[in-house]
């Protein structure tokens, strides 16, 4: 099988999966709830002054952090509302672009102290995040940024190819 045939098969599979069953659409709501919980987690750090956010965490850093989290909900919201996977790709690309900009700035300023990351978690759950140091968090953010770059390309390619295939088959 050639690389072209392999990609065509991938695009065709994605086109067949474009329409989501109702249970999958409901799962997108769970994703949005997860985003809200992440926002509340960071807001609790900010409101309770746990020490996680350093003095360099100002309005711009708050906008970038919370904005990237909120924009991360655009894909699940688009899929849940439309019941279509391909419709969610442009919002996902927008969220990835914002994340790349936000993470680059947050890495430069690094307004976090991960020694306090577990500060808002009940004691019996703290073991799950106490291993995250500033160095590990930096690596994870870099990996997430690289993933954002990769997924912009994949989403753009799939959006164009799946859309063309769906238009050709009259499914759009």
Residue-by-residue pLDDT tens, the chain, 172 positions: 566 667 778 899 999 999 999 999 999 999 999 999 999 999 999 999 999 999 999 999 999 999 999 999 999 999 999 999 999 999 999 999 999 999 999 999 999 999 999 999 999 999 999 999 999 999 999 999 999 999 999 999 999 999 999 999 875 6
- Which stretches within 48-82 are classed as H helix? 59-71, 74-82
Contact criterion met (CB below 8 Å) for 63 and 11? no
At 19, is the secondary structure helix, strand, or coil? strand
Q: What is the DSSP letter of 120?
A: G
Q: Report the pLDDT value the prediction gives residue 148, as an integer from 0 to 100.
A: 96
Domain-wise residue ranges, the chain: 22-168
The predicted pLDDT at position 123 comes to: 95
What is the reported pLDDT for 153? 96
- Tokens standing for residue 140: 């994870």
DSSP three-state, residue 53: strand
Q: What is the pTM of this model?
A: 0.90
According to the model, what pLDDT value does residue 55 have?
A: 97
What's the pLDDT score for residue 156? 97
Q: What do you get for the CA distance between the two ends of the chain, in Å? A: 29
* Whole-number pLDDT of residue 139: 98
């Amino acid at each position: 099988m050639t690389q072209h045939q392999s990609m065509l098969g991938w695009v065709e599979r994605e086109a067949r999966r474009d329409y989501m069953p109702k249970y999958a659409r409901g799962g997108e709501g769970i994703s949005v709830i997860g985003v809200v919980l992440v926002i509340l987690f960071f807001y609790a750090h900010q409101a309770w002054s746990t020490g996680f956010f350093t003095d360099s965490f100002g309005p711009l850093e708050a906008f970038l952090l919370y904005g990237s989290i909120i924009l991360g909900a655009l894909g699940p919201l688009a899929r849940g509302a439309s019941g279509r996977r391909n419709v969610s790709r442009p919002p996902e690309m927008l969220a990835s672009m914002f994340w790349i900009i936000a993470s680059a700035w947050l890495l430069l300023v690094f307004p976090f102290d991960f020694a306090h990351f577990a500060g808002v978690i009940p004691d019996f759950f703290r073991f799950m995040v106490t291993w995250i140091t500033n160095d590990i968090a930096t690596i994870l953010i870099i990996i997430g940024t690289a993933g954002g770059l990769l997924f912009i390309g994949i989403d753009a390619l799939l959006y164009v190819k799946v859309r063309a295939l769906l238009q050709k088959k009259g499914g759009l």
